[in-house]
Structure 1
């Protein structure tokens, strides 16, 4: 990992902190690679039940990709970059455990993409969301990234945000369902949420995530492997016994 990306495991929670507060946590190539490595770490460690994404400093979650890295771009490099971003978003969206984005301040461009592929988003009252590239860089988003945003925000709001280059405030994000809570006490809200998630059945939560991911991909959807994995698991069998015995189940993720 890099100093610009902090990864900390506390109990069953793995927290990834984007740590460039002076640059509003704008992402470097190394940070994107480190995030993918963190995803691999989560998926190979059965003790991790929840992944959290945060921005350092309180002023921003992530304010996009560091613009200095776009120097010397041409069309071919632009295609490569958008493919790279799509790969990062796809990997983050496929993490086996719930991913929570705790958003304070600006969540812009690539930061909005990262937040969008998290499973649950909470934000501070001062949070602002947008992709103002129509008035800043004059670049574009891939259809893959547009699809993610439109799936959450709706086609009309996605078009509005991109074409007007405006910032969506926290209460609007709450009203349209993009975030589930606007928290004055971010640490307290986050602790309560992650504690709840960490104590739920891992395979059930994985099935929810994987099913929604496949629905987003479109036609030809198969789910037999998901259902078979969950219903054939040790967790399901022991939970049934525990329910009948009026006991609380203990989850192993197997």
Structure 2
């Protein structure tokens, strides 16, 4: 498998399983089913390594992220969370900040990955698991999925691990305020209704893989630039700023040779043979 051949080395994973399920598509499974795939320091480190390997794999086109067993992810493991790398022996406030940054940075890395990430949710997806799903580009879910930002229930702000950034951009500020301030759990039907999901399906992994296959059919570099440009222009201060980013990106994409190949493929009535990254 391409990811396992990467110099990052993914043969010793204990919290996450990586499978090559289709050409150019990887299935990443959080694998602590006895703990509802709760997040600990080891899982964070393994996912960071996977993101690095994903971004360096030139053949990989998309990633589907899911959970083993009866849930996607129950959030932070409050009993066995571990500590951030390098935090041994530092003052408690410093150690706490290092842990917080270590945890939050993972979601940023998933969001900023060069490849599209699709969360396939079945069962509970709450707390840090909810934040992880929000960090992905696309979300599918089964009717059994449940969602919620629940940090408030343990006495800390519900604006954590990127939720205050992602959620308003996905479902709007007013609805986000209600979900974050109440810390309530909501079901898959509501998640679909408010626009959090791209699809509600009895088999969310297969539906996510279908989406990944559609992504795979497009030019690799243009796909990367589409993801990057879309998320950057969401934060644009003006239309002019968004247009400037789009203009730069289109010229970059036009220089790869993929446009000429698309023209030739159209004339020849065949699928394009993209040049890769």
TM over 0.5: yes
Deviations 1:194-247 (A, max 9, x none): 222222222232122101221244446652542222111122221122223333
C-alpha RMSD of the superposition: 2.3
TM-score normalised by the chain length of structure 1: 0.89
Contact 1:130 1:165 in 2 (8 A): yes
Is there any run of 5+ residues in structure 2 with no aligned partner, and where? Answer: 1-11, 84-90
What corresponds to 1:44 in structure 2? 56
Q: Which of 141, 164, 183 is residue 123 of structure 1 equivalent to?
A: 141
2:209 aligned with 1:191: yes
Q: Which of 241, 250, 256 is residue 233 of structure 1 equivalent to?
A: 256
Cα distance in structure 1, aligned partners of 2:191 and 2:256: 37
Q: Which of 15, 24, 38 is residue 4 of structure 1 equivalent to?
A: 15
What corresponds to 1:252 in structure 2? 275
Q: Which of 9, 12, 28 is residue 16 of structure 1 equivalent to?
A: 28
SS of equivalent residue, structure 1 residue 113: helix
2:43 aligned with 1:26: no
Q: CA deviation at 1:138?
A: 0.9
2:69 aligned with 1:62: no
Deviations 1:94-121 (A, max 9, x none): 1112211100011111111111121111
Q: CA deviation at 1:78?
A: 4.0
SS of equivalent residue, structure 1 residue 68: coil
5 Å-filtered alignment, 1:41-190, equals 41-57=53-69, 59-69=70-80, 75-135=93-153, 137-140=154-157, 141-142=159-160, 144-190=162-208
Q: Which of 222, 226, 239 is residue 208 of structure 1 equivalent to?
A: 226
Q: CA deviation at 1:65?
A: 1.2
Deviations 1:31-83 (A, max 9, x none): 111111111111111111111101000x2111111112569995544433332
SS of equivalent residue, structure 1 residue 9: strand
SS of equivalent residue, structure 1 residue 66: coil
SS of equivalent residue, structure 2 residue 57: coil
How has the CA–CA distance of structure 1 residues 242 and 14 changed in structure 2, closer, same or farther, with 3 Å as cutoff? Answer: same
What corresponds to 2:9 in structure 1? none
Deviations 1:173-202 (A, max 9, x none): 111111011111334323322222222222
TM-score normalised by the chain length of structure 2: 0.82
How has the CA–CA distance of structure 1 residues 226 and 128 changed in structure 2, closer, same or farther, with 3 Å as cutoff? Answer: same
Cα distance in structure 1, aligned partners of 2:44 and 2:214: 28
How has the CA–CA distance of structure 1 residues 175 and 50 changed in structure 2, closer, same or farther, with 3 Å as cutoff? Answer: same
Contact 1:82 1:142 in 2 (8 A): no
